[in-house]
């Protein structure tokens, strides 16, 4: 039986004089998934810090045996810095479009990493190779990558329960790179809405510079799938409560208490993302002009939250002040229009309030899902249901399309929506609620969890084909050992060296030079065969005994010489001036792009452009070029963020074949990463060993994911065995 290790900031337990299991949608959802196929374990902070290691061990053992929970113990200092500080003082504002409220502290970041490492280490202790690890929310964004680095065979899921903001907002966070890299260590990342998925993908494109499809991100030899999974509620728990005698008694009491009044309900955790102040403004406008205002009573339940965070203290003071002011203006001796409750209420009373409220206002400024909307609807009685007024910026608005949808920033519209809600005919109310309630019951929390877990279980570890060269390095090394006259033909950009946004910044770093030093001492001929211009290659490799072939096979510099020789002296290049005119127009209309003119080719670079705009313009350019060059002796190559137009008489395959025949090499290893290298890979013969770097269709025999693997492979091949 496979195990699901469900990893969250807090364990679903409450520790006091006794230990009891917490209730909630996530708990019931995961318990519904476990059964004959899966065993469920929870991993998280228990909310208590035992005084000694012995007491920690005893508590951990008891939690495991009685509740299926495994603990990550945190000190009070860690909780303050990791949870209150970095998670809620830095990440929460960014994720909810409030970068001005973000407070970044380098010490808190270090502790956030430290705590994430604790969680990752505990996962590694518990997880078997076939287990599923499901990590939840922004508190643990670094965990997937940490686990992946140590145990790439483990299936890792990650779910954002919050919104994910636009890339323009998220990129303002000082640790944006590390956070995004941490998350895409997962095999599968889930979101409540497609909009959040789209924003995350955009951040990956623009911040990490990775290529991303609509539903997946490829990075190195790993594929991260993206999916939309709207979370539901524990429907059965509410349905059972609606049939209970305590619920029915509570409904009778509340109806009697507010007899003759029309109840509007607002329930949420106290948070600046919930739009509470805007809601109060809308209510004040309604009280001024609403036809039903004199009979209405507004019950505001704000559950205390993060009371030690200054922004929350200030928000509470503002809310209390506004409630007092509005009650002072519109209240009477018999009635205060707003009943403000700053505490949680028990489940039975909450369900009763949901059931008798004519209107519920769920109008956050931004919210991941907001389950209050679904809880309200499931508690509506068929004979006389209420009306849901819902913010268009709540994730739930994507599903609950029959609610009265409002813009929470437009307080006038919200005020008018209350008139609409109170006056709505009963037939229309029934029709609206019935459609939404049916969906909530069918697609409940268990459906949500099962969907995610089943998709995660089906994820196949991304295997780049053809055969990974790591599986055959020993065979290649043995073939190299037996060769009498071997040669290496190595591309540079994207093969020996990672790409940079500015091409000149991709000079040989220490890692590349270490490989070059090893190759210089090895008993084989080495060719650097690149699209770079001659001057750059000569400057970089003038001290090495390599043959340098520039501009994809146009010119060559033999070892020990200083004069570049043309490999295609009779080639006609008059076509260049026609194509240059077109490329310059695209430079003008595509900020960040530029043209590089070579002896035998012209290249349009768009690596520094907005990634999606650059791809769009590249497709336009390709379409135009194919028509333009129909009668020219040229080839068009769409490479890594470049479009290159070069002579059909000049390519790497021609250059490689020339030297392979002249030198009579009995083994030729060639490696490259893009379309220009396929000319080498198409050569046939037993002497050729061809290696593709990165993804994409290829004729090569083998594949490695990135330049780092190329360098390791080359060192393994040429350095003496220890």
* Residue 219 resides in a domain: yes
| Domain hosting residue 594, numbered range | 576-646
How far from 264 is each of 81, 282, 338, 358, CA to CA, in Å? 39, 13, 10, 6
Q: Is the pLDDT score of 124 beyond 50?
A: yes
pLDDT above 70: percentage of residues in the chain:
95
Average of pLDDT values for 508-536?
A: 94
Q: Which two tokens stand for residue 141?
A: 């964004």
The per-residue pLDDT for 149 is: 93
Q: Is the pLDDT score of 722 beyond 60?
A: no
Q: Which of 212, 228, 244 is the last residue of a domain?
A: 228
Q: Is the pLDDT score of 468 beyond 80?
A: no
The per-residue pLDDT for 304 is: 87
Q: How far is CA 108 from the centre of its chain?
A: 22
- 544 and 605 part of one domain: no
- 119 and 183 part of one domain: yes
Nearest in space to 348 (alpha carbons), one of 445, 425, 241: 241
- 212 and 309 part of one domain: no
- 507 and 656 part of one domain: yes
How far from 193 is each of 339, 434, 574, CA to CA, in Å? 33, 23, 53
The per-residue pLDDT for 465 is: 46
Q: Is 54 helix (H, G, I), strand (E, B) or coil?
A: helix
Confidence band for 36, pLDDT divided at 50, 70 and 90:
low
* Residue 462 resides in a domain: no
Give the contacts of 136 (CB within 8 A, at least 6 positions apart).
Answer: 6, 7, 8, 9, 26, 158, 159, 161
Q: Is the pLDDT score of 139 beyond 90?
A: yes
Q: Is the pLDDT score of 467 beyond 60?
A: no
Q: How far is CA 230 from the centre of its chain?
A: 16
Q: Whole-number mean pLDDT of the chain?
A: 90
Question: Taking the model in full, what pTM does it have?
Answer: 0.78
Q: How many CB atoms lie within 10 A of CB 707?
A: 24
- Residue of higher predicted confidence among 687 and 218: 687
C-alpha to C-alpha distance for 492 and 710, rounded to whole angstroms: 11
Average of pLDDT values for 595-609?
A: 88
pLDDT above 90: percentage of residues in the chain:
64
pLDDT digits (tens, 9 = 90+) for 252-310: 999 999 998 999 999 999 999 999 999 999 999 999 886 667 788 999 999 888 777 77
Written in H, E and C, the secondary structure of 440-467 is HHHCCHHHHHHHHHHHHHHCCCCCCCCC
- 239 and 219 part of one domain: no
- 621 and 639 part of one domain: yes
pLDDT digits (tens, 9 = 90+) for 54-70: 888 888 899 988 888 99
C-alpha to C-alpha distance for 402 and 389, rounded to whole angstroms: 10
* Residue 459 resides in a domain: no
Burial 1-25 (b: 16+ CB within 10 A, else e): eebbbbbbbebbbeeeeebebeeeb
Q: Is 114 helix (H, G, I), strand (E, B) or coil?
A: helix
Burial 340-365 (b: 16+ CB within 10 A, else e): beeeeeeebbbbbbbbbbbbbbbbbb
- Residue of higher predicted confidence among 406 and 314: 406
* Residue 461 resides in a domain: no
Give the contacts of 259 (CB within 8 A, at least 6 positions apart).
Answer: none
Q: Which range has the worst mean pLDDT, 116-130, 345-359, 542-556, 562-576?
A: 562-576
The per-residue pLDDT for 48 is: 76
Angle between helices 106-126 and 143-150 (to 10 degrees): 50
* Residue 456 resides in a domain: no
* Residue 464 resides in a domain: no
DSSP 546-611: -EEEETTTTEEE-TT----EES-TT---TTHHHHHHHHHHHHHHSTT-EEEE-SSEEEEE-TTS-H
What residues act catalytically? 491
The per-residue pLDDT for 27 is: 73
- 355 and 295 part of one domain: yes
Q: Is 293 helix (H, G, I), strand (E, B) or coil?
A: helix
| Whether the Cβ atoms of residue 164 and residue 190 lie closer than 8 Å to each other | no
C-alpha to C-alpha distance for 84 and 351, rounded to whole angstroms: 31
- 283 and 399 part of one domain: yes
| Whether the Cβ atoms of residue 361 and residue 406 lie closer than 8 Å to each other | no
Q: Which of 228, 249, 282 is the last residue of a domain?
A: 228
Q: Is the pLDDT score of 34 beyond 80?
A: no
- 207 and 252 part of one domain: no
The per-residue pLDDT for 470 is: 62
Q: Is the pLDDT score of 482 beyond 70?
A: yes
Q: Which two tokens stand for residue 286?
A: 């309604």
- 558 and 593 part of one domain: no
Average of pLDDT values for 323-329?
A: 93
Q: Is the pLDDT score of 463 beyond 50?
A: no
The bridge status of strand 404-406 relative to strand 188-191 is: unpaired
- 312 and 331 part of one domain: yes
Confidence band for 22, pLDDT divided at 50, 70 and 90:
confident
Q: In total, how many domains does the chain have? A: 4
* Residue 463 resides in a domain: no
Q: Is the pLDDT score of 655 beyond 80?
A: yes
* Residue 300 resides in a domain: yes
Nearest in space to 642 (alpha carbons), one of 496, 497, 492, 499: 499
Average of pLDDT values for 184-196?
A: 95
The per-residue pLDDT for 127 is: 94
Q: Is the pLDDT score of 217 beyond 80?
A: yes
C-alpha to C-alpha distance for 684 and 686, rounded to whole angstroms: 7
C-alpha to C-alpha distance for 93 and 103, rounded to whole angstroms: 9
pLDDT digits (tens, 9 = 90+) for 402-420: 999 999 999 999 999 999 9
Q: Is the pLDDT score of 630 beyond 80?
A: no
Residue 13: how many CA atoms within 13 Å on its side-chain side? 26
| Whether the Cβ atoms of residue 302 and residue 435 lie closer than 8 Å to each other | no
Q: Is the pLDDT score of 242 beyond 60?
A: yes
| Whether the Cβ atoms of residue 266 and residue 299 lie closer than 8 Å to each other | yes
Q: Is the pLDDT score of 440 beyond 90?
A: yes
Nearest in space to 646 (alpha carbons), one of 577, 595, 576: 576
Average of pLDDT values for 650-676?
A: 91
- Residue of higher predicted confidence among 531 and 35: 531
Q: Which two tokens stand for residue 660?
A: 């392979």
- 113 and 257 part of one domain: no
Average of pLDDT values for 432-457?
A: 93
The per-residue pLDDT for 81 is: 95
What CATH code is carried by the domain that includes residue 7? 3.40.50.2000
Q: Is the pLDDT score of 464 beyond 70?
A: no
Confidence band for 422, pLDDT divided at 50, 70 and 90:
very high
Which DSSP letter does residue 396 get?
Answer: G
Q: Is the pLDDT score of 705 beyond 50?
A: yes
């Amino acid at each position: 039986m496979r195990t699901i290790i469900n990893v969250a900031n807090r364990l679903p337990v409450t520790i006091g004089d006794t230990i009891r299991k917490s209730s909630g949608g996530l708990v019931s959802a995961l318990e519904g998934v476990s059964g004959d196929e899966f065993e469920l374990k929870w991993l998280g902070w228990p909310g208590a810090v035992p005084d000694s290691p012995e007491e920690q061990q005893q508590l951990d053992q008891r939690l495991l045996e009685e509740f299926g929970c495994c603990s990550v113990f945190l000190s009070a200092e860690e909780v303050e810095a990791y949870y209150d500080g970095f998670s809620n003082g830095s990440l929460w504002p960014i994720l909810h479009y409030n970068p001005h409220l973000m407070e970044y502290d380098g010490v808190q970041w270090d502790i956030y990493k430290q705590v994430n490492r604790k969680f990752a280490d505990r996962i590694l202790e518990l997880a078997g190779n076939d287990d599923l690890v499901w990590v939840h929310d922004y508190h643990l964004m670094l965990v997937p990558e940490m686990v992946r680095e140590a145990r790439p065979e483990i299936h890792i899921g990650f779910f954002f329960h919050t919104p994910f903001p636009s890339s323009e907002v998220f990129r303002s966070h000082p640790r944006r790179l590390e956070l995004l890299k941490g998350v895409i260590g997962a095999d599968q990342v889930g979101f409540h809405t497609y909009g959040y998925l789209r924003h995350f993908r955009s951040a990956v494109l623009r911040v990490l510079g990775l290529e991303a499809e609509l539903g997946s991100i490829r990075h190195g030899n790993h594929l991260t799938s993206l999916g939309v999974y709207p979370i539901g509620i524990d429907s059965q728990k509410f349905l059972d409560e609606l049939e209970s005698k305590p619920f029915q008694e509570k409904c009778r009491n509340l109806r009697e208490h507010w007899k003759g009044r029309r109840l509007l309900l607002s329930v949420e955790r106290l948070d600046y993302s919930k739009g509470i102040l805007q809601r109060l403004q809308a209510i004040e406008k309604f009280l001024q002009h609403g036809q039903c205002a004199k009979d209405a009573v507004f019950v505001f339940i704000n559950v205390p939250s993060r009371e030690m965070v200054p922004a929350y203290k200030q928000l509470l003071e503002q809310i209390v002040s506004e409630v007092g002011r509005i009650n002072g203006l519109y209240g009477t001796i018999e009635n205060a229009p707003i009943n403000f409750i700053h505490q949680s209420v028990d489940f039975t009373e909450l369900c009763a309030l949901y059931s008798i409220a004519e209107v519920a206002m769920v109008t956050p400024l931004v919210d991941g899902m907001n389950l209050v909307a679904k809880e309200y609807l499931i508690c509506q009685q068929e004979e006389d249901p209420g009306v849901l007024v819902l913010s268009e910026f709540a994730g739930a608005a994507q599903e609950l399309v029959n609610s009265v949808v409002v813009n929470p920033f437009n307080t006038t519209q919200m005020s008018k929506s209350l008139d609409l809600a109170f006056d709505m005919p009963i037939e229309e109310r029934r029709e609206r609620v019935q459609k939404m309630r049916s969906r909530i019951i069918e697609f409940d929390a268990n459906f949500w969890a099962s969907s995610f877990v089943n998709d995660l279980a089906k994820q196949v570890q991304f295997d780049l084909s053809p055969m990974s060269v790591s599986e055959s390095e020993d065979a290649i090394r043995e073939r190299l050992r037996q060769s009498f006259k071997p040669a290496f033909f190595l591309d540079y950009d994207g093969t020996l060296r990672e790409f940079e946004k500015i091409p000149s910044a991709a000079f040989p770093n220490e890692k590349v030079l270490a490989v070059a030093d090893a190759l210089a001492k090895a008993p084989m001929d080495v060719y650097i065969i690149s699209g770079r211009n001659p001057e750059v290659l000569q400057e970089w490799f003038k001290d090495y005994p390599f043959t340098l072939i520039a501009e994809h096979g146009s010119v060559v510099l033999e070892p020990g010489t200083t004069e570049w020789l043309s490999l295609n002296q009779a080639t006609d290049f008059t076509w260049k001036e026609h194509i240059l005119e077109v490329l310059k127009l695209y430079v003008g209309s595509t900020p960040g792009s530029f043209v590089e003119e070579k002896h035998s080719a012209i290249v349009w670079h768009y690596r520094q452009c907005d990634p999606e705009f650059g791809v769009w313009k590249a497709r336009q350019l390709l379409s135009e070029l194919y028509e333009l060059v129909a009668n020219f002796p040229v080839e068009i190559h769409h490479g890594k963020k470049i479009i290159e137009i070069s002579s059909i008489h000049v390519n790497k395959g021609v250059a490689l074949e020339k030297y392979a025949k002249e030198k009579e090499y009995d083994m030729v290893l060639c490696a490259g990463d893009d379309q220009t290298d396929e000319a080498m890979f198409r050569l046939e013969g037993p002497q050729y060993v061809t290696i593709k770097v990165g993804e994409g269709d290829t004729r090569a025999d083998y594949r490695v994911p990135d330049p780092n693997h190329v360098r390791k492979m080359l060192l393994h091949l040429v350095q003496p065995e220890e």
